[in-house]
Structures are given as structure tokens and as C-alpha cells.
Structure 1
């Protein structure tokens, strides 16, 4: 039995077995880097083990403080609503355990270096030698209904564009946001660049990454005079692992505040005014545990409605989560 802190890595989840394997590989690397800390991992939706299972394991091992770390690049609905709902529910049921919600990976110099490496790998493996001034970089984000999260992809793109010296760069998304990858590629073909590098700014593989590569292949087949190069996603790059370790350290030291200045739940963001002040509840319960093992979802004792902590996104409140959760106002 332990009486010190532990870490729960909270993944999105996928119906793709390879995506689950890659996420589990990340958790393996973190355990190797932090052998003194008990680490469990689980998924929000589409796969098992679910997050509740991992939390229960840490509880059974005697954890008195659990750092819950989002295994996600940016803070959209899952980080702002679904994960806090899971964590707060568990904390409310276990008042003897201190729950700390770490922040998302966000825009980080380590992740930019990892992205640079993936793009340079693609350049080295390309068939032709084409200078960057004649190359267009297409960075592909996941796409959400949160403009704050979507805009982070644009910032990453701009920093890679200027930092690596490409002739041009554009952003597209695998879903939800505009433009989609196929639409974005059709538009940039008209700019006249000799090479287009398609870089999925994703942590792991999965259905969406395969869709991105399929679109790239279709564009390449239809446009043989333009070289379409597919770069790898981040996966288990050493800099990504280092970034996760930084987030764990921040959470343990109490310096893991999220950037809430443009959160659509705190501020009236153009086009999302109806979300301002919305209650913080999960919306993922119908797909918890469904996925790669074929098991049906169940509620596993998790309550997805309001609870006595009364968390909400009302800008007039203190707007913080109990148990030192990160999404709070200074």
C-alpha cells in the first residue's frame, strides 16, 4: 500500500487497435521514466480500460493524491467538460483522495521540435529533392467545435512555417472544423507549389489519421505533377514524452493552470455565445467502454449529471474545480 501521489493518464480512446497500442506504449515509457510513481492509464470512450477502472486501481493501492493528466493536445470539450466530470465524480465519492487535474499538452516548444523531426523525416524519405521555398506545409488538426482549440492548430502551423522556412503553409482538419483535408488540399493545389507535405498534428494513429492519408493519396493520384508527402504523427517521440513529464511535474507542484482567457464557457466568444456559462457535465457516457474489445458500455457507477460540487462555467463564479483541478481562474 502506498500513501504518496500517483498518476492517471487519461486517453481519448479509439476503436482502432493500433491507436490503443500506441497509447499504451506511451504509458509504458512514462512508467519507465517515473518508476517511483504508480501510473495507471485508461480511456474516456471507445476503449477499455475506462478511466474509472484506473482510478479504482490507484485507490486500491492506497493512493492519497492522484494527478489526472489529459492525454490530449488541446483543450476542447473532452478536457473542459468530460474529463473534469469523470474526475470530480470520483473525487466526490472518495473525499479522502486529493484529485489534481493536470492541463493539456497545449502549444509547447518540445512538441514543436517533435513536429519538426516528423516533418524532416518525411522530407528525407521523399522521392525528390525539392527546396522548402517550393514546398507547402499542410498541418492537419483533429477539428472540434471549440474555436480556441482549433486556433491552436493555426498557431502551431505558423510557428512551423516560419521556423522551418517553407514557402507557404495552410491548416485543415480531419472533421468538424473547416476546411476538411480534401477541401484544403484542393485549394492549395492552385498555389503552384512543387511539393505539399501533409502533417497530421495528432498524438496517435487511428481512423482519422488513416482518413487523412487516404485523402492525401487520392490527391496525389489525381495530380502526379505535384509531390504529395505524408509525414508521420507525433507518436512516442522523446520530446512528447518529456512534455508529458513536464505536465506531471506542473500538477504536482501546483503550477498547472490552463489558459482560460479564450474559453468559450468563461467568455462570450464570437459564434459560441450560447455556450457561455454552460454547466460542466460529461457528454460521452454513451460510448464509455465501447470499442476495441467489443464490450458494451455501462455506467460503471459514474454519474454524468450535476453533483454536489456544483461545478459550472458561469463567468460570475470563481470558476474552479475542487480538488485543485486545473481549469480555474487565478
Structure 2
């Protein structure tokens, strides 16, 4: 008899096994809470992949729910995970595959952050009721304004109803305000204490940078005590959030952050990024570049990009027209010819019915109606830095 349900907890994946074990620990905790199988899968850098995790449970269940273990909805949540879910629905037609929501903004997380702040206050021997305590909530930072906006929202929710002098949002990279200048700005208020909370799931490279920046600030400003708290870890309150996300997905009440997504609506300063194809391309190029990441202990996001990046749409209409064969033949042709190109699959390139669609970057050339027998010509064009003019659907 089939189990009614299974969940795949979709983590990012890391070269640090400790980070991957955290995902597995949360998966085991969620399984205990829900009472049916929960397995971990990873977007990159760790095994099993999300498709492999789905494959491991699909034969024995009627419903699989994929829940992203992501703090905010940036490109992985908006593009990578939905792509995997769509593919799984095509491959496992007898299983209902549901797409869950990321952790996001949740009362249990605000409560957890409050406890993390209280632990630092105890360490510094200060009391928010009697002392001027400022909290700086430091997140990773994203190129997605929707994701960054949620950090500010969490900071405000942590401030409301509590006796902190203030709660500020800051970032360790990508966007502003960066942590170091944010701390210097906070120092002008002459607080009694500064509590820095890393808004991270685990103890990785970025969390350590937050600690180091906080320690440097503490040394430079003798009149203000400063210390850094712990990341979210595997606290049981995360299981509460994940259980809620499961219930949302299974009742069809998953609210993806689309109303303020820069890929779907025009936002001031991001007008050129609207369009589903750009969202998917950005996700794919980022995902593919991680394969060439340098030593994570030195610089976690240095990428060594190939000369060419070729994406093949494997969404439903393109898949039905033979996109999977085109994808695999292109990969083989590139390997055989020793071409410096990366071949990856994509979701919808917004040219449904005109596929299989193949996009070549940085040439900005899109091919349409590509058949398996066209692969050799495309591979040759990559090798000679040319285009196959009769296959061109459009150029950007």
C-alpha cells in the first residue's frame, strides 16, 4: 500500500558537509513532526540532487511536496526549484508533485531571532529594558529587491513591541547597507550595546565574516559593547515554519512572491530585468557557474565562466518535441570537440510552440525548432564562434 505523502526538503547544498547535515537534521525532525517520509535534496554541490530525492520517494507515495529550505525568495526559489518540480510532474505522471514556499517571514522566526538577541544580551550583561540596545539583523544580501525587502520587514517585526532602541537591517554582500558601514552608522547613536544577529541557517563562511566584522567593530568602539549571535541552526521553531509551509502547499495556498518580483513587474531601477526568460537565464547562469567555484574557504562566490553557455528549454512543449535528446547530444558534442561551453537545461524561454528552443550566451542568439540532427551544426558554430543563421529565432 502506498504512503499518502512524502516531503523533499530542498537545501542549497554546500562543500561543507556540516551545512548539508543541517538540512538532513531538519528533514529528520520534520519527518518526526509530520509522521511520514521526509528526505533531503540539494540544488547543487551536494547529493542527492532534488530530482534524485524525488525519485527515491515517488514510487511509494501518491503525493510529494517539495519545500525549499531557503530564507527568502530569490532566484533559487523563484526559478530553480519550480523548474525541478515541473520536470518531476512530467516524469512522474502518477504522482502529485506540489511546490511549497520558502521559510520567509513567519512569527516563529521572529520569536527565534528574539531569543538569539536575548542570548547576546546575557553575554554582554545588558538588558533592553534598562539599556540602550540596538540590534543589527545581517542577511546575505541578494540582487532581488523582493528578497532584500523581506529582511527589512523582519527587522521591523523584531522591533515592534520590544524594548530595543532600534533594529536595523544590513547585509554581508551584494547590496547595501553593508554590515560594516551600518555598524559605524549605529555607533553614532552611542548605544550601550550592539547585538548583531546573522540571518543565516548555519555556520558557514558568511556567518564567520559577520562575526569577524562585529569583533572588529567592538575593538574600535570602546564605548559600546558589541557581540554576534548564533545563526538559526536546527531550532525546533524552524520545523514549525516548515510544517506550516507543507500545509499551505497541500491545500493549494502557496503564495509565491510574484507581486513584487522584479522579473514579473517593472520596478524602478530594475526595468530592464522584467521578463520570465531573464529570470530563468539568470538562475541558470548562476547555477552553472557554481560548478567552477574556487576554494570556498577563500572566496565562496568566485566564478570561472566558460566561453559559451548554451541553455536548452526542457519545459513541456519543448520536451514533447525532443528537447531532452537535443540537450544530451549537445553535451556529448561539446565533450567530443573539447569546446569550452557549458550546456544546461532551462525552464520556459517564453517561446512556447516554437521549440525546442536553444539560447547561446554571451552571443545572445536564440535558436528555435532545433532538431537532434541540428546539433552538429550548432556545436560547430560554437567551436568557430559563428551562428547557424537558418535556425535563428531571435537575437537579444
TM-score if structure 1 supplies the norm length?
0.84
User: In structure 1, what is the equivalent of residue 142 of structure 2?
Assistant: 144
CA distance in structure 2 between the partners assigned to 1:67 and 1:245 by the alignment: 11
Cα 1:130/1:257, change in 2 over 3 Å: closer
User: In structure 2, what is the equivalent of residue 50 of structure 1?
Assistant: 49
CA distance in structure 1 between the partners assigned to 2:62 and 2:177 by the alignment: 46
Displacement of 1:288: 6.4
Cα 1:91/1:285, change in 2 over 3 Å: farther
Of structures 1 and 2, the one scoring higher in RCO (CA 8 A, sep 6+) is: 1
CA distance in structure 1 between the partners assigned to 2:95 and 2:255 by the alignment: 20
Q: 1:171 aligns with which of 163, 169, 172?
A: 169
Instruction: Give a deviation string over 1:10-63, Cα, whole Å, max 9, x none.
Output: 01122323222222211121111122x22111111222222122112112x423
User: In structure 1, what is the equivalent of residue 338 of structure 2?
Assistant: none
Displacement of 1:131: 4.5
Instruction: Name structure 1 gaps, 5 residues minimum.
Output: 293-302, 315-330
Instruction: Give a deviation string over 1:156-199, Cα, whole Å, max 9, x none.
Output: 11111122221122211121111221222122222211210001
Q: Secondary structure at the match of 2:114?
A: helix
Structure 1, 84-93 or 195-204: larger mean CA deviation: 84-93
User: In structure 2, what is the equivalent of residue 21 of structure 1?
Assistant: 21
The 8 Å contact of residues 277 and 313 in structure 1, kept in 2 or not, is answered as no
Instruction: Name structure 2 gaps, 5 residues minimum.
Output: 297-309, 318-346, 351-396
User: In structure 2, what is the equivalent of residue 257 of structure 1?
Assistant: 255
Cα 1:171/1:123, change in 2 over 3 Å: same
User: In structure 2, what is the equivalent of residue 306 of structure 1?
Assistant: 313
Displacement of 1:136: 1.0
CA distance in structure 2 between the partners assigned to 1:163 and 1:233 by the alignment: 23
User: In structure 2, what is the equivalent of residue 266 of structure 1?
Assistant: 264
Q: Secondary structure at the match of 1:287?
A: helix
CA distance in structure 1 between the partners assigned to 2:18 and 2:160 by the alignment: 33
Displacement of 1:305: 3.5
Q: Secondary structure at the match of 2:316?
A: coil
Q: Secondary structure at the match of 1:4?
A: strand
Q: Does 1:38 align with 2:37?
A: yes
User: In structure 2, what is the equivalent of residue 287 of structure 1?
Assistant: 290
- More helix per residue: 1 or 2? 2
- More strand per residue: 1 or 2? 2
Displacement of 1:260: 1.9
CA distance in structure 1 between the partners assigned to 2:188 and 2:46 by the alignment: 41
Instruction: Give a deviation string over 1:176-226, Cα, whole Å, max 9, x none.
Output: 111221222122222211210001122222111111111111111222321
- The 5-angstrom pairing of residues 1-330 of structure 1 reads 2=2, 4-35=4-35, 37-59=36-58, 61-128=59-126, 131=129, 134-279=132-277, 281=280, 282-283=283-284, 284-287=287-290, 305-309=312-316, 312=348
The 8 Å contact of residues 85 and 304 in structure 1, kept in 2 or not, is answered as no
The 8 Å contact of residues 126 and 193 in structure 2, kept in 1 or not, is answered as no
The 8 Å contact of residues 16 and 207 in structure 1, kept in 2 or not, is answered as no
The 8 Å contact of residues 140 and 199 in structure 2, kept in 1 or not, is answered as yes
Q: Specify the structure having the higher radius of gyration (Cα).
A: 2
Cα 1:139/1:287, change in 2 over 3 Å: same
TM-score if structure 2 supplies the norm length?
0.70
Cα 1:107/1:183, change in 2 over 3 Å: same
Instruction: Give a deviation string over 1:42-89, Cα, whole Å, max 9, x none.
Output: 111222222122112112x42332100010121111100111122222
